[in-house]
Amino acid sequence: MYGQYTVNLQLQTCSCRRWDLTGIPCEHATTVIARVGGQPDDYVSDWYHKRSFLASYNHVIHPMNGPDMREKSGKPPIQPPEFTRQLGRPKKSRRREQDEPPKNPHKMSKIGVKMSCRRCGKEGHNTRTCKAPLDALPVGRGMGRGRGRATTKGTRMGRGRARAGAGAGARGNTSSAQHPPTCSPSSSVA
């Protein structure tokens, strides 16, 4: 007995079962063999010896005939099954195995990422499914990662002109003073 494992040298077994499964003495059996004064090579299973390998290939192995040497049956050859188109829209890309690398290894997965709503800023839903009324929503920057949304002081362009002294954008008016028309109202297309 070695520690918590029971080793039997006559039956060549150990209670960890590694010696039983592999046929090679485990570390517990090797320790007991060393205490008794034996060699671990003497306790290796007979299947690992050279004489067993030579005995297994001692008899003559006759080669088999290939497909071109088989006798012909006179029947037509077996054909693959007919292709039937599956219902529904075809898959855009095939399903990959779990151990298969992704198509684009540089693209990060969104699994486990908490999405948040751009309108109300809460997690668990998106803008399309937001239940908050439009009147109760806060107005201003910083609600999302979008660009160019209108704020209480006008658009982003309007705020820039308000600092420069344009006047209309500073009062929150988003009229044509910020965006002059491309053609004059008096000109008409004939």
DSSP secondary structure, 56-88, as one string: HT-SPPPPPP-GGGSPP-SSPPPPPPPP-PPSS
Read off the tokens for 66: 């290939």
Q: Quick check: 136 pLDDT over 90? A: no
Least confident of 2-16, 41-55, 109-123, 157-171: 157-171
> What pLDDT, on the 0 to 100 scale, is given for residue 22?
92
Of 136 and 148, the structure prediction assigns the larger pLDDT to 136
> What pLDDT, on the 0 to 100 scale, is given for residue 147?
54
Q: How far apart are CA 139 and CA 154, in angstroms?
A: 11
Percent of the chain with pLDDT over 90: 20
Q: Which residue carries 């803008």 as its tokens? A: 127
Residue 139: pLDDT band with limits 50, 70, 90: low
> What pLDDT, on the 0 to 100 scale, is given for residue 44?
92
State pLDDT tens for residues 55-112.
988 888 888 888 888 888 889 988 999 999 889 998 888 888 888 888 888 888 788 8
Residue 181: pLDDT band with limits 50, 70, 90: low
Percent of the chain with pLDDT over 70: 69
Q: Quick check: 162 pLDDT over 50? A: no
> What pLDDT, on the 0 to 100 scale, is given for residue 137?
59
- The sign of the torsion formed by the CA atoms of 27, 32, 38, 42 equals negative
Q: Quick check: 160 pLDDT over 70? A: no
Least confident of 42-46, 50-54, 92-96, 149-153: 149-153
Q: Where are the domains of the chain?
A: 7-56
